[in-house]
Amino acid sequence: MATYAQDPGAPAPSYLTFWRERHLCTLTTPRPDGSPHVVPVGVTYDPEARLARVITNRTSAKVANVLAAGPEGARVAVCQVAGRRWATLEGLAVVRTERERVAEAERRYAERYERTPAPNPNRVVIEIRLTGAMGRG
């Protein structure tokens, strides 16, 4: 059986390149009843910090799901796919509201997706402390 494991802090160059390309992703969060909630998102990957970031509105269901998991965070996954290439990042998600953390997430989003997000005073960032990665870039 093939193995597709990656070190989230030191991924293979092709894996990292894939995460720097412009791709729509999905975020899977657990609902309070344990069922998965999967939504399309933009994701940025910072292997040096072992973080993935998703900017979103503080009133979104994904934020509610992460907050419902408690202060330790929610176990989540983000994924992207393009043809035969795919990549998944897994970890513990928390919601950050600090202006500097949101600004850093917006900067990284603008860099990856080549567009600056519209101003949004209700924006927060879901930060995912990475515990695992897999895929083939």
Q: Work out the pLDDT band at 41, boundaries 50, 70, 90.
A: very high
Condensed to tens digits (0 to 9), the pLDDT of residues 83-132 reads 999 999 999 999 999 999 999 999 999 999 999 999 999 999 999 999 99
Q: Does residue 3 have a pLDDT over 80?
A: no
Q: Does pLDDT of 1 surpass 70?
A: no
> How many of the other CB atoms lie within 10 Å of CB of 77?
19
C-alpha angle 135-40-105 in degrees, rounded to nearest 5 = 85
Residues 12-30 pLDDT 10s? 999 999 999 999 999 999 9
Tokens of 77: 């996954």
